[in-house]
Structure 1
């Protein structure tokens, strides 16, 4: 059997040294569309110069702040890569989709860093026709913990082994109009740029591979949509202050194709923002659901 759940969870954690500097941060931000300011209100999508001060904090090394979702690609995403090659795990990449993602920040991510990333398979759940792998990676430097990242990986055709189904909590959408709605255009080459941060899955670039996975063309990385959404929340409701983010979780509810436009709805509370993301071009088809940004 390609997945041996007991062996995978019992395996020793894997550790690796990871480093990053301003170039990695800038490339990641550009992969999310930074450098094209798109306004804070619905319909404000015409953009303004890349030299807008609100965008320079993501693109200019002398003003750089690190969006917390960078944790998903630091060290070229070694946590997920290591998890998919862990003992007991042998899956076909064409059957793999990112089901959900959670990041907990222990302190702000520095612009330049060296850390130890420790990764393991935290859980394997049996969803019947599919399996869910929870791949956990924890990063710490000489000053202590930086972040904990949980990636929920959906593997089609690998369920039915008699394991636990796992949690199925859903965040009920507020019964009121959102406090803010913004739209973000996804460039045609967005996936090609984003994958330079380390996710080389051909599903996001190769049309033939995408067809093998059941799509008529390559799809955008779920983690790219994840980052685009966090940037929109930070810019719109947190005054551009990335250090206020404490945790960020989502469930990937649908795909995004390069060239589409995302509609991001936000409901604000005292210490959290609930978010839903849909694809404007496909009649508001769901993209991200059960999405929560906790902040200070």
Structure 2
């Protein structure tokens, strides 16, 4: 079997060094739609180096976003990339992320779950600099055709949205060229730029990066419910339940919950709010 679960989980972690600069942070923020209106002080915190703060989801692309590539090339993992879907993502930040720096990045396959017709790889990455831990990311990759090996199914991550009106709803239009800008942060998958490749994998046109939508949603929560203070975010998790197309409007619905949590859903307005992100939670101070 292409995935040897026992070998993948028991393999030694791999360690590399990440570096980033303020322009990498600015490029990431622009790639998730920040900077509109361009002179708005609230937006300048994402785009102007003298006022810059770092949205925690930047951790998914810092240093070029190597977590997925490292996980899919780990010992015991040999899969067809056409069978791989990014199923979910979480980020836990241990302190506010600096606008530039160098960090030791450690990655490993934390778990392999058997979903019957598919396997789910859970890839864990930790980053730390000279001052200590910075973030922990978990990336969940759904690999079609690789289940049925007798492993544990793993925990369910599906939850229902609250049965009441959301506390806030915001619409975030996306530009048609947004994935062309976002991919400059390190995700060069042609699915997001090449129409012919998109058709080969079953889409009539390129789709928006899931992690781009992920960043858009977190920024909406920070700007709407957290007073624009990125340092208040402690963790953020989401399931990629559908796709978004460049040029669509994303409707972000938010519910405040006990325990300093915000429940979130994201849907595509032009397709009757077809689900894009579900089972999404932001924990904050």
Q: TM-score, normalised by structure 1?
A: 0.94
Q: Is the 8 A contact 1:219 1:258 kept in 2?
A: yes
Deviation at 1:133, TM superposition (A): 0.5
| Residue deviations 1:188-231 (CA, integer Å, cap 9, x gap) | 01111101000111111112221221111111111000000000
List gaps (5 residues or longer) in structure 2. Answer: none
Q: Which residue of 1 aligns with 2:32?
A: 32
Does 2:53 correspond to 1:65?
yes
List gaps (5 residues or longer) in structure 1. Answer: 37-48
Q: Which residue of 2 aligns with 1:274?
A: 263
Q: Is the 8 A contact 1:94 1:209 kept in 2?
A: no
- What value does the CA root-mean-square deviation take over the aligned residues? 0.9
Local SS of the residue matching 1:211: helix
| Residue deviations 1:59-104 (CA, integer Å, cap 9, x gap) | 0000000000000001111222111110111122222111011111
Q: Partners in 1 of 2:78 and 2:195 — Cα distance?
A: 24
Deviation at 1:170, TM superposition (A): 2.3
Q: Which residue of 2 aligns with 1:295?
A: 284
Q: Partners in 1 of 2:281 and 2:155 — Cα distance?
A: 17
Does 2:126 correspond to 1:138?
yes
Local SS of the residue matching 2:183: helix
- Which portions of structure 1, spanning 4 or more consecutive aligned residues, are displaced by more than 4 angstroms? none
Q: Partners in 2 of 1:107 and 1:31 — Cα distance?
A: 23
Q: Partners in 2 of 1:157 and 1:196 — Cα distance?
A: 31
Local SS of the residue matching 2:12: coil
Q: Partners in 2 of 1:242 and 1:92 — Cα distance?
A: 37
Deviation at 1:269, TM superposition (A): 2.8
Structure 1 window deviating more from structure 2 (111-120 vs 199-208): it is 199-208
Of the three residues 69, 73, 89, the one matched with 1:81 is: 69
Q: Partners in 2 of 1:217 and 1:194 — Cα distance?
A: 17
Q: Which residue of 2 aligns with 1:161?
A: 149
Local SS of the residue matching 1:162: coil
Q: Partners in 1 of 2:157 and 2:13 — Cα distance?
A: 27
Q: Which residue of 1 aligns with 2:98?
A: 110
Q: TM-score, normalised by structure 2?
A: 0.98
Q: Which residue of 2 aligns with 1:40?
A: none
Deviation at 1:171, TM superposition (A): 2.5
